């Protein structure tokens, strides 16, 4: 390893790791390089400059990438298919219509919050926006309510599950890296996420909606049409059936975790069965296949239609999967090179609370790179060694702290920022005052609740 300025071995490791992270941030944020390429470049640079053997560096990159994507890639692919079936069948529209009818016009912001929370569970944030924008514009036309007053709660719901709630891929990355229990993470995520979404959603939405008045861009809703067969054009899938389909992976995972907690040593056939179906991969597989029937064949789609939907929806996920894999490679280099141990040693000596540490690391990377996915994946590799040296830490709350940090301060280097700006027909200052503030509220409120829970439990 090349030592700098006579520094100790540990200090030199940390300095080179900082240089690698700066390279990663500058190349993504300033020069707009593809994050996957930059993550690989930073991984190779760090491994070689620290003194690892070249072939060991390659092995670490391969094992880190493959190990990270082992289950995450499957969850992403199946979740995308499930979301596509929900869109094409009209299931998302059915959920929105039912909640709006039951909540009434005055409480539509609350209805859209719930819609965002539900629809966002199996799909990426960007996909969730595409699914719900037509419904949002329809609501605006029918009620003449402020776009931001209704839209901000919807965005808050989508963003909350994106950062906090499994089986969404973002928190699944941290769950896998930290070895957290999925069921417990879901339960804590609900405790943290619901009040957080309420504050950043309907409450803030009402405030900002009265101060910034914007209107949907003309003709945009025509781009968001499904391919429903003519004979079922007016027949949406039932509300209960749609809800069952979307919530099925969450229900199965919770069931498996409850059995694990109630009978951890049981080897009975029934206990093994519930553990099997509660595995995130199996749960998503069951829910997706069920969706082929409940939201596919039952709605008049042919097998060719379903094959087409499930094939074409996977293309946009390729870059996200590669980014996650690249983050896993960088994480493995941090571990194998000894940087992880050095970070853990410094953090332990400084007595930094691991929940605070996880939040701050994820937040700094998020602000610098603009990507919540890059923030969570990179932070997982930095935080994992610290967590391993922190006996008694609540691993599930560390997962949520990492997720909360990855949501903060979305600005001009975040693709989501521009997506919201264009769909909501806002200027850059208006987007900063509404969307950016909402994301920061989500992050800070969630962290406060997580910190309090960490003291109590």
pLDDT digits (tens, 9 = 90+) for 15-56: 888 888 888 878 876 787 888 898 899 899 999 998 899 999
Q: Can you say how many angstroms the Cα of residue 449 is from the centroid of all Cα atoms in its chain?
A: 19
Whether the Cβ atoms of residue 334 and residue 382 lie closer than 8 Å to each other: yes
Whether the Cβ atoms of residue 369 and residue 375 lie closer than 8 Å to each other: yes
pTM of the model: 0.69
Measuring CA to CA, which residue among 431, 77, 141, 119 is closest to residue 288?
77
Q: Chain-wide mean pLDDT for the chain?
A: 81
Measuring CA to CA, which residue among 60, 63, 32 is closest to residue 45?
60
Task: Tell me the domain boundaries of the chain.
Answer: 9-456
Packed helices 395-405 and 169-178: angle between N→C axes, nearest 10 degrees? 140
Q: Residue 306 class from Cβ within 10 Å (0-12 exposed, 13-18 middle, 19+ buried)?
A: buried
Q: Return the higher-pLDDT residue of 57 and 411.
A: 57
What does the pLDDT look like over 270-317, one tens digit per residue? 888 988 988 878 888 998 999 999 989 988 899 999 998 888 878 767
Assign 5 a pLDDT band (cuts: 50, 70, 90). low
Q: Return the higher-pLDDT residue of 89 and 221.
A: 89
The span from the CA of 74 to the CA of 256, in Å, is: 19
Tokens of 346: 């410094």
Range with the poorest average pLDDT among 153-157, 199-203, 204-208, 245-249: 245-249
The span from the CA of 237 to the CA of 247, in Å, is: 15
110-119, 131-140, 209-218, 334-343 — most confident range:
110-119
Tokens of 52: 């690892």
Whether the Cβ atoms of residue 373 and residue 323 lie closer than 8 Å to each other: yes
Assign 399 a pLDDT band (cuts: 50, 70, 90). very high
244-253, 355-364, 413-422, 445-454 — most confident range:
445-454
Q: What's the farthest any 2 CA atoms get from each other in the chain?
A: 76
Q: What is the pLDDT of residue 224?
A: 42
Going from the C-alpha of 366 to that of each of 231, 362, 418, the distances in angstroms are: 47, 6, 16
Q: What is the pLDDT of residue 438?
A: 95
**Rounded mean pLDDT of 375-401?**
85
The span from the CA of 64 to the CA of 60, in Å, is: 6
Residue 432 — φ and ψ, nearest 5°? -65, -40
Packed helices 147-164 and 108-119: angle between N→C axes, nearest 10 degrees? 30
The span from the CA of 216 to the CA of 137, in Å, is: 7
């Amino acid at each position: 390893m090349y030592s700098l300025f006579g520094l100790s071995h540990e200090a030199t490791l940390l300095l080179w790791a900082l240089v690698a992270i700066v390279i990663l941030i500058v190349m993504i944020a300033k020069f707009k390089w593809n994050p996957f390429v930059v993550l690989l470049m930073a991984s190779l640079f760090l491994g070689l400059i620290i003194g690892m053997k070249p072939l060991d560096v390659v092995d670490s990159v391969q094992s880190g990438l493959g190990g990270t994507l082992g289950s995450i890639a499957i969850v992403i692919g199946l979740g995308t298919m499930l979301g596509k079936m929900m869109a094409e069948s009209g299931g998302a529209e059915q959920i929105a219509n039912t909640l709006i009818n039951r909540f009434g016009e005055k409480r539509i912001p609350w209805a859209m919050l719930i819609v965002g929370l539900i629809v966002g569970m199996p799909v990426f944030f960007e996909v969730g926006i595409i699914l719900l924008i037509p419904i949002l514009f329809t609501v605006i036309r029918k009620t003449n309510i402020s776009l931001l007053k209704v839209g901000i709660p919807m965005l808050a719901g989508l963003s909350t599950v994106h950062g906090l709630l499994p089986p969404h891929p973002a928190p699944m990355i941290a769950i896998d890296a930290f070895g957290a229990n999925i069921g417990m993470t879901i339960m804590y995520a609900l405790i943290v996420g619901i009040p957080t979404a309420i504050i950043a959603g309907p409450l803030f939405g009402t405030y900002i909606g009265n101060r910034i008045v914007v209107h949907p861009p003309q003709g945009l809703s025509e781009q968001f049409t499904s391919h429903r067969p003519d004979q079922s054009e007016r027949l949406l899938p039932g509300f209960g059936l749609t809800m069952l389909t979307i919530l099925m992976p969450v229900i199965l995972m919770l069931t498996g975790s409850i059995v694990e907690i109630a009978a951890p040593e049981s080897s009975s056939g029934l206990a093994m069965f519930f553990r099997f179906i509660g595995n995130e991969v199996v749960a998503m597989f069951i829910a997706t296949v069920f969706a082929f029937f409940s939201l596919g064949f039952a709605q008049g789609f042919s097998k060719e239609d379903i094959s087409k939907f499930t094939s074409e929806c996977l293309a946009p996920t390729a870059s996200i999967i590669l980014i996650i894999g690249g983050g896993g490679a960088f994480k493995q280099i941090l571990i194998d090179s000894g940087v992880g141990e050095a970070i853990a040693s410094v953090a332990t000596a400084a007595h930094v609370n691991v929940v605070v540490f996880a939040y701050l690391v994820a937040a700094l990377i998020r602000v610098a790179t603009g990507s919540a996915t890059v923030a969570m994946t990179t932070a997982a590799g930095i935080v994992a060694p610290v967590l391993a040296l922190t006996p008694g830490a609540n691993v599930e709350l560390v997962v949520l702290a990492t997720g909360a940090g990855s949501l903060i301060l979305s600005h001009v280097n975040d693709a989501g920022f521009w997506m919201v700006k264009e769909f909501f027909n806002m200027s850059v200052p208006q987007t900063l005052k509404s969307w950016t503030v909402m994301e920061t509220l989500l992050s800070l409120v969630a962290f406060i609740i997580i910190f309090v829970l960490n003291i109590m439990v």
